[in-house]
Structure formats: C-alpha cells, structure tokens
Structure 1
Amino acid sequence: MLGMALFLSNAKQLRAVLEQGPSSQYYSMLVTLISISLLLQVATGILLVLIARLNLNEAEKQWRLNQLSNAAGTLVFITLAISTFITAFGVRKTGFLAARTSRNPL
C-alpha cells in the first residue's frame, strides 16, 4: 500500500509540475526525476510479481529468487532516494487550489 501511495503521490507531483510549465525553475529536472521514479516503481512491481510466481521450495530457484529480491530492494532504495530529491526541490500548487489556499488557509 505504501508503494501505491508513493506512485499516486508522484503522479500528482508530475501533474503539478506539468501545470506549472517549462517556465518553472526546476521543470526539466523534476519531470525527469519523477518519470524515473515512476518507471522504477513499475519495474519493482513487475519484479515482485515475478518473485511471487516462483516457487521458493525448489532449491534450484532459490538463488534466482534471492537475486530478484536483492534487485527489488535496490530499486526501492533508489526510488526513495529520488523521491527525497523531488521533495527537496518541491512542487508548488498552481491553479484554483493555490489561489484558494493562499486566500483561505483553513
């Protein structure tokens, strides 16, 4: 569920960056980082499905499962690191929500 929450959060951030347009200061970097993060999350999901389909009780598949599990863990770590950079450079609200929030903080 946390993976899905991060995926949806990145999708919303990508939408906000695209709404701001290329005139924003970190536009190309944010679009690139968010896109990479989304692709890594999809790749991680595919790896996890592959891991779930393989039988751990078969000795010849255990080494392969271990390698796939390590790859999935590495992709998760890289995704979280990229998401940290996305958050550090920030995505500002635009449009109706930004105007509404600035006028009425409650």
Structure 2
Amino acid sequence: MASEGEIINLQGGNPGSRRDNPININHYATKKSVAESMLDVALFMANVTQLKAVLEQGPSFQYYATLAALISISLFFQVVIGILLIIMVRINLNDVSKQLRLNVLNNTATALIFITVILNIFITAFGVQKTGLYPTRNFRRPY
C-alpha cells in the first residue's frame, strides 16, 4: 500500500505523457472538500437572509414558526457539515488506518447534505414574502 505522502497513479496509459501525471488522492479529496465548503457557505448565507426576512415579518406571517424552525434546522446542519468537512480535510486519505473513519465522516456529511437539500426544498415551498425593505415610490408631481 502507499505510504503517507506517496502519490498513487490511478490512470493507465503512457507514463511520459503530461496528461497522465499521477494524482495525489489526498490533494484531490482536499480540493473536493474545499469546494463543498464554499457551496455550504453560499447556502448558509442564503438561509441567514431568509431567516432575517421571516423574523422581520413577525409572528403574523402565516408560516412564521414553520419557516423559522426549518431554516434554523438547516443552518444547524450546515454548521455540522462544515465541521465535518474541516475534519475530513485535516485527515490524510493515504493513511490506510484512517480511511474507515474518513468513509464514515464522508457518508455522514453526504447524508446531512441530502437532508439539508430536502429542508431547503420545503423552505422554498413555504416561501418568504416580500420584506418591505425597499419602500414603494410614490411619484407625485409638484404643483
């Protein structure tokens, strides 16, 4: 098996070709986790904005409690996913003794991402009404 830091060539073909350079699996997994983290941050910011809009509308809004709860749960799961991704990035994938732990963490993060997507479908279905942040303009002509 590969030792720590060793690069594993998963691609067949001509070893002299620039295209067939070996891939560092640990580096690849790290980049993948960073990309997932960026998407998680984008969704987190969207959910914070939605929560702000729901809170501004107040308890008189028809789905106030439902949306506040769904958005809060989604935000909680996103924080947990972010922590899991940070942990996964710090663990060396090439270390065979840590691969089982990484697999469990990855499966857990994937399940939480799936649940978060479903939650956000429901959040979108219940909708957030216009917040009134932008006042309507009254166009009056001066006399």
Corresponding residue SS for 2:136: helix
Count of residues paired in the alignment? 101
Q: Which residue of 2 aligns with 1:21?
A: 58
Shift of 1:47: 0.1
Equivalent AA in structure 2 for residue 88 of structure 1: A
Shift of 1:96: 3.2
RMSD (Å) for aligned C-alpha atoms: 1.5
Q: Could you list the per-position Cα deviations for residues 53-90 of structure 1 after superposition, in whole angstroms to 9, with x for gaps in the alignment?
A: 11111111100100000000111110010000000000
Equivalent AA in structure 1 for residue 136 of structure 2: R
Matched, 1:46 2:89: no
Matched, 1:8 2:45: yes
Higher Rg of the two aligned structures: 2
* Unpaired runs of at least 5, structure 1: none
Hey, which of these two has a bigger chunk of helix by percent?
Answer: 1
1 CA distance for matches of 2:83 and 2:108?
11
2 CA distance for matches of 1:94 and 1:57?
50
Matched, 1:64 2:87: no
Could you list the structure 1 runs, at least 4 aligned residues long, displaced by more than 4 angstroms after superposition. none
Equivalent AA in structure 1 for residue 130 of structure 2: K
Q: When the two structures are superposed, what TM-score results if normalisation uses the length of structure 1?
A: 0.89
Q: When the two structures are superposed, what TM-score results if normalisation uses the length of structure 2?
A: 0.67
